[in-house]
Amino acid sequence: MDVADLPGVPDWLPDHLRDDGIEELYPPQAEAVEAGVTEGANLVASIPTASGKTLIAELAMLSSVARGGTALYIVPLRALASEKQAEFEQFEQYGLSIGVSTGNYESDGGWLGDCDVVVATSEKVDSLVRNDAPWLDDLTCVVSDEVHLVDDGQRGPTLEVTLAKLRRLNPDLQTVALSATIGNAGELAGWLDAELVDSDWRPIELQKGVHYGQALHLEDGSQQRLAVRNNEKPTAAIVRDTLQDKQGEDGSVEEGGSTLVFVNSRRNAEAAAERLASTVRPHLSAEEQAQLEGIAADIRDVSDTETSDDLADAVADGAAFHHAGLARGHRKLVEQAFQDRLVKVVCATPTLAAGVNTPSRRVVVRDWRRYDGSAGGMAPLSVLEVHQMMGRAGRPGLDPYGEAVLVASSHDELDELFERYVWADPEPVRSKLAAEPALRTHILATVSSGFARSRTGLLEFLEQTLYASQTGESGRLGMVVDDVLTYLERNGFLDVDAGELDATSLEFPTANELAEERAASAKIDPDDVSALGLYHLVSRTPDMYQLYLRSGDREEYETALYEREDELLGPTPSEFEDERFEDWLSALKTARLLEDWASEVDEETITDRYGVGPGDIRGKVETAQWLLGAAESLAGEVDSDAARAISEARIRVEHGVREELVDLAGVRGVGRKRARRLFEAGISDRAELRDAAKPVVLAALRGRRKTAENVLENAGHRNPSMAGIEPDPDVEVHGASPRDGEGDHEDESEADQSNLGDF
């Protein structure tokens, strides 16, 4: 289908697509248009990675906006929200406004109502629904990316319930769900009352296979010699082989290419990149080396951590690692350098693989097992995941074909991998909503936000979930719901009048009424509430992903527990209650990380001390911020004096500062390090900053005029200009290393957290 023939899209779109090199739709895209995706039809598209799902989403959203509506694009991971936003910003030149909603969990995102397209995670949309965001009622199109993740035990239920809620709020909503190829796409289409596009088509041929011994065994039955040298790992041999130019049968030379290696942990990604750097280095030209040095320097500028240094070292040699613990700036530099064919190998964890467009000649799935807490050990990856990683092989227009290989260390494993992955079909997607903890949370939220006020109402709503459509057994949904209601009532979350089992008569109290009751029964003395106590409290909730206790940690945190037990809220479980006690200690470890951050311990020390990446700190900080914000609202509702202590703990963790900097760090563009330097120069709050002598401010901000002007303007200074001002030489500036995490070219909105990465 020619792009000129698209019905329902804005007039400018065909030319825009042609400028991008898109003349014809790919076959699955054409099927989607024929199914009515540009005319408001619901659609489920189950097609392979890299087969152009994004364009299907864009066609749906742009045509919906052209009819005067607004669109929402749900991403599976926060880290992907900004990638998608950047992608959609290409449409701003035609007058569309694009918004991204991450961060502050409590807001109802009022400003988003003015956007034509909003990008958000399902958790964020869930929270917007709970906060009654009015603009959600006006949505006309919702796109759910990677919808097969409804199968994910952790996050799937939120996505499932969110989609059901949006569709209930707005029965005319166009729903477009994009999925990797799965076995039961038809079931998803049935759930969403949608047309189905189910296709195996790929823009470039893909050969799957397994490397074993000295050869690549491909799915078409052929074998290619791929020798592994003495003392060489098979992955290194594959990377080396891919780098070499090859002579085709017709005498043509096929230029060497790049390799994407998938491993099962961040640590392994970093270690593999370091090792493979020595494989790549001898293949680099002098010019490439010079360019890579430049990129390595940019990487060091992003943040001042060991991760940043390790990444820069690897990149200087043409290798890199990529995982969700990296700061966004790091990821962007790596992806660009890989696309520019300067970085020849990227070792990645699969987390972001699905969403980031980084095709390469070859893909190696090195680890096909991963640690799985619920299995208590290593568990094999799903076929779906492995196929998604494999789908990144082959760059259309650049490579003749893509090759994706697993690595076997024995003949038996070779056979097993063929059966398990190469020849296998992806698993069907199943709803995980019935897992009790998930259902409890969602039922409570559904009731307290007024979506349902009776058992019947609740059942009616739940009928719209995938779970209901997959549970053939009649009455099963009602039974599960009753179990959950009983649990919620027994624990005081809901008032279900047991005397009247007449379903329609069940009326639930509001969240506020419940909060009052609970707070009344648990009065705490506000003077006894420390920041650590509050951080520990929020770290005990299921919403916080706690840090694990590593071997050796237990003793350290037991000691810490006895030293600071007085500060923790609620009774410490007995040591003999293994699981609860361990949980308590993990929460303490997590709370200590938050406390360190809120005490201005630098990022690198924290990443070392707790064995995490900068992105993990950010994730925990954001969750703590959100939960403390909720606690603050509850304390306000019940007039608790603890509200002030909670507010302070929240602001401290938000900005990563001690008490005395809370006011200063709240000025946009200041952030923790600058606040400390201003404070040391004698400026202790916003009011003093407004009246401060400009030479002092300039010196404290290390002579950076633009930064100083911005900061003064944000503090409300009448004349922030720094023209003609020189830094005061008497101001001593500590920690003035050229790369202390607040680089020159930082993005203002990120300055507050000094480059803590995305998670």
Contacts with ligand ADP by CB under 6 A lie at: 22, 24-26, 29, 49-55, 357
Task: Name residue 52's amino acid.
Answer: G
Smallest distance, Å, CB 43 to ligand ADP? Answer: 14
Smallest distance, Å, CB 324 to ligand ADP? Answer: 18
Smallest distance, Å, CB 54 to ligand ADP? Answer: 3
Smallest distance, Å, CB 30 to ligand ADP? Answer: 9
Q: State how far the Cα of 266 lies from the Cα of 271, in Å rounded to an integer.
A: 9
Between helix 266-280 and helix 234-243 the angle, nearest 10°, is: 50
Smallest distance, Å, CB 166 to ligand ADP? Answer: 22
Smallest distance, Å, CB 20 to ligand ADP? Answer: 7
Q: State how far the Cα of 492 lies from the Cα of 175, in Å rounded to an integer.
A: 37
Q: State how far the Cα of 291 lies from the Cα of 280, in Å rounded to an integer.
A: 15
Q: State how far the Cα of 531 lies from the Cα of 83, in Å rounded to an integer.
A: 35
Q: State how far the Cα of 619 lies from the Cα of 324, in Å rounded to an integer.
A: 10
Helix (H, G, I), strand (E, B) or coil at 650: helix
Q: Which residues pair with 273 in a beta bridge?
A: none
Q: State how far the Cα of 306 lies from the Cα of 297, in Å rounded to an integer.
A: 14
Smallest distance, Å, CB 237 to ligand ADP? Answer: 29
Which element (helix H / strand E) includes 372? strand 369-372
> Which one, 82 or 572, has the nearer CB to ligand ADP?
82
- Among residues 31, 508, 699, 80, which one has the least CA distance to residue 335? 80
- Among residues 617, 668, 181, which one has the least CA distance to residue 383? 181
Q: Are 34 and 6 in contact (CB under 8 A)?
A: no
Smallest distance, Å, CB 320 to ligand ADP? Answer: 20
> Which one, 224 or 357, has the nearer CB to ligand ADP?
357
Smallest distance, Å, CB 443 to ligand ADP? Answer: 34
Q: State how far the Cα of 408 lies from the Cα of 393, in Å rounded to an integer.
A: 19
> Which one, 29 or 259, has the nearer CB to ligand ADP?
29
Q: Are 114 and 138 in contact (CB under 8 A)?
A: no
Q: Which two tokens stand for residue 288?
A: 């490439």
Q: Are 733 and 635 in contact (CB under 8 A)?
A: no
Smallest distance, Å, CB 52 to ligand ADP? Answer: 3
> Which one, 69 or 355, has the nearer CB to ligand ADP?
355
> Which one, 8 or 741, has the nearer CB to ligand ADP?
8
Give the phi and the psi of residue 379 in degrees, each rounded to 5. Answer: -135, 145
Q: State how far the Cα of 666 lies from the Cα of 652, in Å rounded to an integer.
A: 10
Q: How many residues does the chain have?
A: 759
> Which one, 150 or 624, has the nearer CB to ligand ADP?
150
Cβ-Cβ contacts under 8 Å for 499 (sequence gap 6 or more): none
> Which one, 26 or 626, has the nearer CB to ligand ADP?
26
Q: Which two tokens stand for residue 406?
A: 């697993």
Q: Which two tokens stand for residue 57?
A: 């989403």
Smallest distance, Å, CB 181 to ligand ADP? Answer: 10
Smallest distance, Å, CB 503 to ligand ADP? Answer: 44
Q: Are 98 and 85 in contact (CB under 8 A)?
A: yes
Smallest distance, Å, CB 180 to ligand ADP? Answer: 9
Q: Which residues pair with 393 in a beta bridge?
A: 360
> Which one, 349 or 625, has the nearer CB to ligand ADP?
349
> CA neighbours within 13 Å on the CB side: how many for 706?
6
Q: Give the burial string for 614-624 (b: 16+ CB within 10 Å, else e).
A: bbbbbbbbbbb
Number of Cβ atoms within 10 Å of the Cβ of 163: 25
> Which one, 222 or 357, has the nearer CB to ligand ADP?
357
Q: State how far the Cα of 347 lies from the Cα of 398, in Å rounded to an integer.
A: 21
Q: State how far the Cα of 367 lies from the Cα of 381, in Å rounded to an integer.
A: 9
Which element (helix H / strand E) includes 142? strand 139-144
Distance of CA 373 to the CA centre of its chain: 20
> Which one, 49 or 351, has the nearer CB to ligand ADP?
49
- Among residues 171, 178, 150, 158, which one has the least CA distance to residue 105? 158
> Which one, 51 or 465, has the nearer CB to ligand ADP?
51
> Which one, 24 or 254, has the nearer CB to ligand ADP?
24
Number of Cβ atoms within 10 Å of the Cβ of 122: 25
Smallest distance, Å, CB 255 to ligand ADP? Answer: 20
> Which one, 55 or 484, has the nearer CB to ligand ADP?
55
CA distances from 570 to 47, 297, 310, 489, 529 (A): 51, 49, 42, 22, 11
> Which one, 48 or 757, has the nearer CB to ligand ADP?
48
Number of Cβ atoms within 10 Å of the Cβ of 237: 18
> Which one, 305 or 349, has the nearer CB to ligand ADP?
349
> Which one, 25 or 698, has the nearer CB to ligand ADP?
25
> Which one, 352 or 697, has the nearer CB to ligand ADP?
352
> Which one, 50 or 532, has the nearer CB to ligand ADP?
50
Smallest distance, Å, CB 55 to ligand ADP? Answer: 5
- Among residues 98, 156, 107, which one has the least CA distance to residue 132? 107
- Among residues 298, 301, 292, 300, which one has the least CA distance to residue 337? 292
Q: Which residues pair with 177 in a beta bridge?
A: 44, 144
Name the E strands within 275-317.
none
Smallest distance, Å, CB 341 to ligand ADP? Answer: 15
Smallest distance, Å, CB 22 to ligand ADP? Answer: 4
Structure-token match 């963790």, residue found = 653
Q: Are 101 and 119 in contact (CB under 8 A)?
A: yes
Smallest distance, Å, CB 117 to ligand ADP? Answer: 16
